[in-house]
Amino acid sequence: MAWLLIALAACDPGVVAVDAVQHGADLYAGIVPASPSKLNLYACKTCHPLHSSAAPVPGQVASAPILPGAPLAGVTQRGRWWGGAEADLLRAVNVCRARFQHAPAPWAATDVEARALWAFLVHLPADVTTVWPFTAVQAALDLPPGDGTRGAQVYDVACRSCHGAAHTGLGRLATRVPRLPEQAVLDHAGYSPALLRVVFVEKVRHGGFFGYGGDMPPYSREVLSDADLAALLTWFGLYDTL
């Protein structure tokens, strides 16, 4: 019977799963890239916390990062994704890979990466198991000025991880990520301050979505309130006459 025991041990799902869970964790953290594209700047981790304790509380400026994506612990049990608009978890993941990570092809359910990611996500202690709210702001409208001091904090926890230090861009993910606000203002030379504010609102609310180009993620109302966005615009000096 020894051969049978050895064969069974070789098929032990626990043993296989540990490897898959680790592979999935490496995909999440970007140690193994989730997209082969040279244009990809991100890991899943860039935009998604694992646990809701690390997710922003609306209306509060936390010292924890304001990330645009939902916490992933419990994601396999949610039943619907992207605020309820998507009924297939793998498709929800492939949207991110295509829109933000420039992945040339979606993962199929049988692909080793998709299976590893699944093993990792299932293995996380379930946290948020209900649909994570994602209210996209349809029309980007100008906002009344906000609290500039708060704006500086918002920049540090929401924008700096990709855009680097304000004004200089020091530490940004790549030179193609614009220095804020100057480079974005220059890109729209001749715009009035009011129009410039709308450009910023559009970019933050829509990212590369709704027909807008690029690979910046969109921020829902739940993640970033209008008050925090207005605070940011105020701190950028976009209410001053430019």
Rule CB under 6 A: choose which of 20, 218, 231, 239 binds ligand HEC: 218
Rule CB under 6 A: choose which of 55, 118, 124, 163 binds ligand HEC: 163
Q: Is 204 left (phi over 0), alpha (psi -120 to 50) or beta?
A: alpha
**CB of residue 7 vs ligand HEC: minimum separation in angstroms?**
34
Distance, CA of 56 to CA of 191 (rounded, Å): 32
Q: Which residue has the tokens 């609310």?
A: 205
Work out whether 107 is an interface residue with ligand HEC (CB under 6 A): no
Binding mask 5-44 for ligand HEC (x = CB under 6 A): -----------------------------x------xx-x
Look up residue 189 and give its amino acid. A
Work out whether 97 is an interface residue with ligand HEC (CB under 6 A): yes
Q: Among residues 17 and 161, whose Cβ is nearest to ligand HEC? A: 161
String of DSSP letters for 4-62: HHHHHHHT-HHHHHHHHHHHHHHHHHTSS-S---TT----HHHH--SSGGGSPPTT---
H/E/C letters for each residue in 47-102? HCCCCHHHCCCCCCCCCCCCCCCCCCCCHHHCCCEHHHCECCHHHHHHHHHHHCCC
Q: 206 Cβ partners below 8 Å, 6+ apart?
A: 136, 137, 140, 212, 218
Work out whether 234 is an interface residue with ligand HEC (CB under 6 A): no
Q: Among residues 7 and 129, whose Cβ is nearest to ligand HEC? A: 129
Work out whether 182 is an interface residue with ligand HEC (CB under 6 A): no
Work out whether 200 is an interface residue with ligand HEC (CB under 6 A): yes
**CB of residue 221 vs ligand HEC: minimum separation in angstroms?**
11
| Total residue length of the chain | 242
The answer to whether 216 touches 139, Cβ cutoff 8 Å, is: no
Binding mask 123-162 for ligand HEC (x = CB under 6 A): ---------x-x-----------------------xx-xx
Select the span of 1-9, 15-23, 65-73, 140-148 touching ligand HEC (CB under 6 A).
65-73
* Token pair listed for 22: 């680790």
Residues engaged in binding ligand HEC (CB under 6 A): 34, 41-42, 44, 46-48, 68-70, 75, 78, 81-83, 89, 92-93, 96-97, 100-101, 117, 132, 134, 158-159, 161-163, 177-178, 180, 184, 187, 200, 203-204, 208, 214-218, 232
